[in-house]
Amino acid sequence: MFRGIHQLFEEQAEKTPDAEALIFEGKTMTYGELESSSNQVAHFLRSQGIGSEILVGISISKSFEMIIAVLGILKTGAAYVPIDQETPQDLVDHILDDSKAEFVISEKNQSQRFNSYKKQLFLYEECLNAINSQSTERLTNTVLPENLYYIIYTSGSTGRPKGVIVEHKTIYNVLQSIKEETGITDKDTLIALANLSFDVSTVEIFSPLMVGGRVKIVSSATIKNAQELRREIENGVTIFHAGPFQYKMLIEAGWIGNKSLKLISTGEALPLNTAKMLLDRCGELWNMYGPSETMHVTSYQVKKEDPLITIGYPIKNTSIYILDENRQQVKAGVKGEIYIGGYGVTRGYLNQPNLTAEKFLPDPFSNDPKAQMYRSGDIGRLLDNGQIEYLGREDYQIKIRGHRIESLCKNDFFLHSN
């Protein structure tokens, strides 16, 4: 039965209110404390008129407060628009103008970035007294699968940031799939590296919180320091979700891992030599694939004997098609473009109907006449064993550290980066 992500957390908080939920800079927060604090934020936001599908910008540094605020927004039925604190000012202005976010939650040290913002700006520190005076009881809130979860901005092939409209059902399906495939439990501690403006942040935050596990938050400064990050991982972390470039950084810093670790690689292609080094440092290695327009849609547990790294099989409620230029399915072993169908397909791009129509197409292979599929721009082929091999881009994009970057000419850097 479908539930909103915040509702899955609420159910867990009822079961284990005294269990640790968050860890940050030597401090901990229990499930009960996180539930009470996020309920107070939700009541405060509701008192300001925030409700179902209203867009709320959020720009809070990595901290307990960041997760409290996200939960508070979701508990009102609203959706959030993440704004990375390192985002250039012109892009901040573009995101706020394009999304028409009715409210922004930020911090005092970020207030100058919102000088041109004409709507309501809440600085967390200045609202604390009002928040702390609110009820700790849960709001009554019904969330439907098709309700808006967030709008996340990605550059993509146009070079202009565009908002991807993501529904609750997409997030729910991804988290349930990761839970089943990786076997995450209440014994696990997952280290959260990604900023909210990366779709993987949702997986890092909520996959542990829906099962009673712990989220270990690390600051942006720690993430950039290989030795500090290594120490954080070696201190009780059991699941690590990162891109190949981060794994390489850690290996070069002398990280040796341990056999109780589950590693998940995502964000860019996983090279075979990097995979082999990781397999020597963990108990399990998973490779996952999916653009921001669909989130994770395939996964595979990498084995030492694998002759090549694939992106694996579709997760549940997901279809992957390899199509030719006429959008006909090709035979196994033949290259084609990767199209994605199922729960992962989002509403499209905010305020860009033409681009949405170009990339989000009717799905002729589905029994549902309303179903759509997403044209990824990625090239792949279906192998005889049912796995999908990723073969690069059809356009001029490359990916560096998980970011889509425009290239001046076609190349296969993404495919062959080491």
For residue 397, the SS3 value is strand
Q: Which residues contact 26 (CB under 8 A, 6 or more apart)?
A: none
Share of the chain above pLDDT 90, in %: 88
Q: What is the pLDDT of residue 158?
A: 52
Would 276 be classed as within a structural domain?
yes
From the number of C-beta atoms within 10 Å of its C-beta (0-12, 13-18, 19+), residue 278 rates as buried
Assign residue 241 the CATH number of its domain. 3.40.50.12780
Rounded distance between C-alpha atoms, residue 359 and residue 372, angstroms: 10
252-310: pLDDT as tens digits: 999 999 999 999 999 899 999 999 999 999 999 999 999 999 999 999 999 999 999 99
Would 63 be classed as within a structural domain?
yes
- Copy the structure tokens of residue 273: 């030599």
Would 150 be classed as within a structural domain?
no
Residues 41, 178 share a domain: no
Would 387 be classed as within a structural domain?
yes
Q: How many domains does the chain have?
A: 2
Residues 238, 378 share a domain: yes
Q: Point out the domain boundary residue: 101, 128, 143.
A: 143
**Sole residue written with tokens 């199209």:** 339
Radius of gyration of the chain (CA): 21
Q: Which residues contact 118 (CB under 8 A, 6 or more apart)?
A: none
**Confidence band of 161 (pLDDT split at 50, 70, 90):** confident
Q: Which residues contact 14 (CB under 8 A, 6 or more apart)?
A: none
Would 389 be classed as within a structural domain?
yes
- Copy the structure tokens of residue 197: 């403006």
89-139: pLDDT as tens digits: 999 999 999 999 999 999 999 999 999 999 999 999 999 999 999 999 999
Residues 205, 109 share a domain: no
Rounded distance between C-alpha atoms, residue 56 and residue 110, angstroms: 16
Domain span at residue 40 reads: 5-143
Residues 354, 304 share a domain: yes
Output 177-181 pairs: Cβ under 8 A, ≥24 positions apart.
177/296, 177/299, 177/315, 177/316, 178/203, 178/207, 178/296, 178/299, 179/207, 179/210, 179/211, 180/316, 181/286, 181/299, 181/301, 181/315
Residues 360, 312 share a domain: yes
Residues 177, 242 share a domain: yes
Residues 264, 127 share a domain: no
Would 161 be classed as within a structural domain?
no
Q: Considering only CA atoms, which of 135, 141, 152, 126 is closest in space to residue 55?
A: 152
Would 14 be classed as within a structural domain?
yes
104 contacts 121 by C-beta, under 8 angstroms: yes
